[in-house]
Amino acid sequence: HQTMAQIHRFCSIELGAFYLDIVKDRIYTGQRDALMRRSAQTAMWRTVEALTRWIAPVLSFTADEIWSHLPQQIERESSVFMATHLDDLKPLLSSGSEKPGQRDFWRQIMTVRDCVNRHAETARNEKRIKANLSAQVTIYADQKIRNLLAELGDELRFLLIVSDANVATLDARPADLAEEEIEGLGYMAVSIAAADAPKCARCWHHRPDVGSHSQHPTLCGRCIENIDGAGETRQFV
């Protein structure tokens, strides 16, 4: 029971509500053989390889069907019931400096993201934005939270799945914007507004450079780079 509860949480929280939600952008918009796209595909493949083994004792028929459809990138047993657990999966470090690659870093990032998502949901319900990608976000935060988000650089907007994301000091927040405490990190306040830039027809991000390229007047610079250039690079998300 405890094992399946942990697997269910992993699938619904870490995978469904976080990782898979974020990497859809790089899967859909990146160049076919781009490192950022292939690395996400590899991560998903390794995840399903492990996950199928985990669920096999309980969800036997489901695991067997998944196994029959897995790409044959490695030599494997003909049946999942003859396979053993992967022994080369490397966990994130559980302690140390709060940097990408550390488990604590991503736990804190998920906490901040959950806070932003709550405000985005309120903005959608109030019809201030239509969807997350039509939003621009400003996070007013204490130093520790700003340092945390600074590690992601421009990729913060991809993490939050918004068109634009900025970080400012907590003192700079508007007077009518309530702050809230993020356990272990400090205080932050979130401003959600409708993006005022045009929408890219390919990635659906609202970017100021849409329309600046005569050959691709409906695309943003990032998509043009992915179509005609060397392709964008990503470090984290």
Which CATH code for domain 103-194? 3.30.2320.20
Top CATH class, 2-82: mainly alpha
3-state secondary structure of 137: strand
Alpha-helix residue ranges (DSSP H) falling in 56-175: 60-69, 103-125, 143-150, 156-160
**Per-residue pLDDT at 103:** 82
Cα 149 off chain centre by: 13
**Per-residue pLDDT at 95:** 54
Q: Residue 153: count other Cβ atoms within 10 Å of its Cβ.
A: 10
Burial of 14 (0-12, 13-18, 19+ CB in 10 A): middle
- Across the chain, which has 237 residues, the per-10-residue mean pLDDT values are 92 94 96 94 92 94 94 81 84 59 87 97 97 97 96 96 98 95 95 97 97 96 96 89
CA distance 181 to 188: 6
Packing angle between helix 35-55 and helix 20-29, nearest 10 degrees? 140
CA distance 32 to 38: 8
Every domain of the chain and the residues it spans: 2-82, 103-194, 197-237
Residue 22 host element (H or E): helix 20-29
Amino acid type, 232: E
Q: Which of left, alpha, beta for 231 (phi over 0: left; psi -120 to 50: alpha)?
A: left
Same CATH fold assignment for domains 2-82 and 103-194: no
CB within 8 A of 36, min separation 6: which ones? 26, 30, 231, 232, 233, 234
Question: How crowded is the C-beta side of 141, counted as CA atoms within 13 Å?
Answer: 21
Cα 62 off chain centre by: 27
Query: Does residue 189 contact residue 115 with C-beta atoms inside 8 Å?
Result: no
Query: 182 phi and psi, to 5 degrees?
Result: -105, 115
Query: Does residue 70 contact residue 78 with C-beta atoms inside 8 Å?
Result: no
